[in-house]
Amino acid sequence: MRKIFLGPPGSGKGTAASRIAPKFNVPHISTGDLFRHNITEETQIGLEAKDYMKRGELVPDEIVIGMLKERIQEDDCQEGFILDGFPRTIPQAEQLAKLTDMDLVINMDVSDEIVIKRLSSRVTCENCGEIFNLVGLIPKNEGECDKCQGKLIRRPDDEPEVIQNRLNMYKEQTAPLINFYKNKNLVKDVTCTNINQTAEETVQSVLNAIENFTSEIKETLETPNNN
Ligand code: ADP
């Protein structure tokens, strides 16, 4: 099971991936989280990525591809993984195709209006990375993570001017991947038009899309070819 969760920042792909991966017993691999970890640990990758991330720009392909390649070779990835935030450019997708086949791309289709509202009220646990916001994902106690009671902070790239930059990057560089994967018949759209949709509802929509895709594939394989 190797799936990609694709979508603009704030579309809910990280939240959905973190909740769905354990159901399939595979790791949730977020390149954003890997970079943030590298920045905290002050590694070479962290040093190289830091300024791009601060500005809301994409980290150069060679850095992210090298990091991802190493990660998916680890033991816990043998049965598959969910990729969140990778690939983000056509060259990244082409490199990924050389490493492994993917079986489904979930395209989280959410309007700019909703993502801006979510991101501008988003806070992240400084300890475990869990995400909260004031529309649909409200923490039980203000300023405190529901999962580990860590402190909730605003990510530096969730400042308003950086949010717009990240959305522009998504449209220019990442959105073309939707057609790249549609041409391979790998995409299921999960559309959210309701600003108050909860994380649980989003997770359920993604699970439904995975189930529908799996039964469609099964049907195609079982249908006799009359040609
Ligand atoms: P979001 O999807 O909310 O923007 P992420 O945590 O996925 O958040 O990414 C945060 C930042 O990390 C991005 O703005 C970018 O600078 C960097 N990044 C993450 N994944 C990639 C990638 N695949 N390619 C290039 N840069 C990336």
pLDDT at 198: 87
Whole-prediction pTM value? 0.91
Residue 173 and residue 60 in contact, taking contact as beta carbons nearer than 8 Å: no
Q: Does the structure show a pLDDT above 80 at 224?
A: no
Number of the ligand 1 atom closest to the C-alpha atom of 33: 6
Which residues sit with their C-beta closer than 6 Å to ligand 1?
9-10, 30-32, 35, 52-53, 56-59, 64, 85-86, 88, 92, 157, 166
pLDDT digits (tens, 9 = 90+) for 201-210: 999 999 999 9
Atom 6 (ligand 1) nearest CA:
32
pLDDT digits (tens, 9 = 90+) for 81-109: 999 999 999 999 999 999 999 999 999 99
pLDDT digits (tens, 9 = 90+) for 133-179: 887 789 999 999 999 999 999 988 888 889 999 999 999 999 999 99
Q: Does the structure show a pLDDT above 70 at 225?
A: no
Mean of all residue pLDDT scores within the chain: 93
The token duo for 78 is: 């043998």
The residue among 16, 5, 10 whose CA lies nearest residue 107 is 5
For β-strands 104-110 and 2-6, DSSP reports them as: parallel
Alpha carbon of 71 to ligand 1 centroid (Å): 16
pLDDT digits (tens, 9 = 90+) for 177-197: 999 999 999 999 999 999 888
Residue 126 and residue 153 in contact, taking contact as beta carbons nearer than 8 Å: yes
